[in-house]
Structure 1
Amino acid sequence: MFPLPQKESRAPTACPGLASAQDLDSNHGDGLERECSRKPERKLPEFSGVGDAPATVPSDSAYLSSRGSVIKWFWDSAEEGYRTYHMDEYDEEKNPSGIINMGTSENKLCFDLLSSRLSQSDMLRVEPSLLQYPDWRGHLFLREEVARFLSFYCKSPAPLKPENVVVLNGCASVFSALATVLCEVGEAFLIPAPYYGAITQHIYLYGGIRLVCVYLDSEATGLDTRPFQLSVEKLEMALQRANSEGVKVKGLILINPQNPLGDVYSPGELRDYLEFAKRHELHVMVDEVYMLSVFEESAGYHSVLSLEGLPDPQRTHVMWAASKDFGMSGLRFGTLYTENRDVATAVASLCRYHGLSGLVQHQMAQLLRDQDWISQVYLPANHARLKAAHTYVAGELRALGIPFLSGGAGFFLWIDLRKAPPTLQYLPEPTFKEEMLLWRRFLDNKVLLSCGKAFECKEPGWFRLVFSDQAHRLCLGMQRVRWVLEGKPQVPEDSPSYQSQEPGGQCR
Structure 2
Amino acid sequence: MFSIFKQEARGLATSPASSSTQDLGTNCGEGLDSESSEKTDKEPVDFYGLGDPAAEFSQMSPYLSSRGSIIKCFRDAAEEGYKAYHLDEYDEDKNPNGIINFGTSENKLCFDLLSSRLNQRDMHHIEPPMLQYPDWKGHMWLRDEVAKFLSYYCKAPVPLKPENVVVVNGCASLFSALATVLCDPGEAFLIPSPYYGAITQHVYLYGNVRLVYAHLDSRVTGMDCRPFQLTVKKLEIALLGAKSEGINVKGLILINPQNPLGDIYSQERLQEYLEFAKRLPDPQRTHVIWGTSKDFGISGFRFGTLYTENQDVANAVASLGCLHGICGTVQYQVAQLLRDRDWINQVYLSENHARLRAAYAYITEELETLNIPFLRTKAGFFVWIDLRKYLCSDTFEEEFSLWRRFLHHKVLLSCGKAFECKEPGWFRLVFSDKIHRLRLGMQRIQEVLEKEPQGAKTLSPCQSLEKSSQSR
Indicate the TM-score class for this superposition, using the shorter chain for normalisation: 0.7 to 0.9
SS in 1 for 2:191: strand
**Deviation digits for residues 42-73 of structure 1 (CA, Å, limit 9, x no counterpart):** xxxxxxx963663562223x321111111111
State whether residues 452 and 460 of structure 1, in contact with CA within 8 Å, keep that contact through their aligned partners in structure 2: yes
Deviation string for 1:357-414 (max 9, x for gaps)? Answer: 0000000000000011111110111111001000000000000000101222000000
Match of 2:257 in 1: 257
- Which of 71-80 and 449-458 deviates more? 71-80
Indicate if the aligned counterparts of 1:85 and 1:101 stay in contact, CA closer than 8 A.
yes
The answer to whether the 8 A contact 1:252-1:277 is kept is: no
Deviations 1:242-266 (A, max 9, x none): 1111000000000010000001111
1:427 aligns with 2:397: no
Secondary structure in 1 matching 2:378: coil
Deviates more, 1:67-76 or 1:320-329: 67-76
CA distance in 2, matches of 1:336, 1:191: 19
Query: Does 2:357 correspond to 1:387?
Result: yes
Whether 1:372 and 2:353 are equivalent positions in the alignment is: no
Q: After superposition, what is the alpha-carbon deviation per residue over 1:113-141, rounded to whole angstroms, capped at 9, x for unaligned?
A: 00000000110000101101111100000
Structure 1 partner of 2:191: 191
Preserved CA contact (<8 Å) 2:406 2:448 = yes
1:67 and 2:67 aligned: yes
Q: Distance in 2 between matches of 1:176 and 1:72?
A: 16
* Native 8 Å contact 1:251 1:277 kept in 2: no
Number of the residue aligned with 1:354: 324
Offset, 1:436:
0.7
The answer on 1:210 being equivalent to 2:180 is no
Matches within 5 A, 1:60-139: 60=61, 62-139=62-139
Q: Is the contact between residue 164 and residue 341 of structure 1 (CA under 8 Å) also seen in structure 2?
A: yes
User: Structure 1 residues 193, 317: closer, same or farther in 2, change over 3 A?
Assistant: same
**Contact residue 406 and residue 412 of structure 1 kept, 8 A:** no
Q: How does 1:225-236 map to 2 (within 5 A)?
A: 225-236=225-236
Match of 2:374 in 1: 404
The unaligned stretches of length 5 or more in structure 1 are 1-48, 280-309, 420-425, 489-508
Residue of 295, 309, 315 corresponding to 1:345: 315
Partner of 1:483: 447
Amino acid at match of 1:58: Q
Report the TM-score when normalising by structure 2.
0.83
What is the CA deviation profile of residues 201-244 of structure 1, one whole-angstrom value per residue up to 9, with x for unaligned ones? 00001100000000011122369722111111111111111111
Determine if contact 2:193/2:421 at 8 Å carries over to the other structure. yes
User: 1:462 maps to which residue?
Assistant: 426
Give secondary structure in 1 for the equivalent of 2:172.
Answer: helix
* Of 388, 392, 404, the match for 1:440: 404
CA 1:65–1:52: 2 relative to 1, 3 Å: closer
Partner of 2:59: 58
After TM superposition, the score normalised by the length of structure 1 is 0.78
Native 8 Å contact 2:85 2:412 kept in 1: yes
2:55 aligned counterpart, secondary structure: coil
Cα separation, partners in 2 of 1:63 and 1:241, compared to 1, 3 Å? same
Distance 2:350 2:131 in 1: 35
Give the secondary structure class of the aligned counterpart of 2:83.
Answer: helix
Q: Match for 2:422: what amino acid? A: K
How many angstroms apart in 2 are the aligned matches of 1:56 and 1:138? Answer: 36
Separation in 2 of the partners of 1:412 and 1:332? 21
| Equivalent of 1:413 in 369, 376, 383 | 383
2:164–2:314 CA contact under 8 A, matched in 1: yes
Q: Counterparts of 1:406 and 1:83 in 2: how far apart (Å)?
A: 30
1:156 aligned onto 2:152: no
The residue number in structure 2 matching 1:305 is none
- 1:423 paired residue number: none
Deviation per CA, 1:420-440, whole angstroms, max 9, x where unpaired? Answer: xxxxxx111111111111001
For residues 453-499 of structure 1, the C-alpha deviation after alignment (integer angstroms, 9 at most, x for no partner) is: 110000111000000011111110011011111119xxxxxxxxxxx
Amino acid of the residue matched to residue 191 of structure 2? I
Residue of structure 1 equivalent to 2:296: 326
Partner amino acid, structure 2, of 1:326: F
Instruction: Give the letter for the 1:273 counterpart.
Output: Y
> Post-superposition shift, 1:276?
1.7
Distance 2:59 2:223 in 1: 49
Using CA pairs under 8 Å that are at least 6 residues apart, name the structure with larger relative contact order, 1 or 2: 2
Task: Describe the SS at the equivalent of 1:404.
Answer: coil
Tell me, in whole angstroms, the C-alpha distance in 1 between the residues paired with 2:412 and 2:327.
Answer: 33
Distance 2:57 2:383 in 1: 35
CA distance in structure 1 between the aligned counterparts of 2:326 and 2:85, rounded to whole angstroms: 28
Give me the identity figure in percent: 72
1:59 partner letter: M
Query: Hey, what does 1:16 align to over in structure 2?
Result: none
Equivalent residue for 1:474, pick from 433, 438, 445: 438
Secondary structure in structure 1 of the residue aligned to 2:288? strand
Secondary structure, aligned partner of 1:265: coil
CA RMSD of aligned residues (A): 1.5
Give yes or no for contact 1:278–1:312 (8 Å, CA) kept in 2. Answer: no
Q: Aligned partners of 1:117 and 1:211: how far apart in 2?
A: 40
Deviation at 1:278, TM superposition (A): 5.2
Change (3 A) 1:220 1:70: same
Residues 195 and 455, structure 1, Cα contact 8 Å, conserved in 2: yes
Matched residue SS, 1:259: coil
Q: Which structure features the higher share of helix residues?
A: 2
Q: Could you say if the C-alpha distance between residues 56 and 77 of structure 1 is closer, same or farther in structure 2, counting changes exceeding 3 Å?
A: closer
Aligned to 1:313: 283
Rounded Cα–Cα distance in structure 2 between residues aligned with 1:220 and 1:185: 36
Q: 2:388 and 2:53 mapped to 1: Cα distance?
A: 22
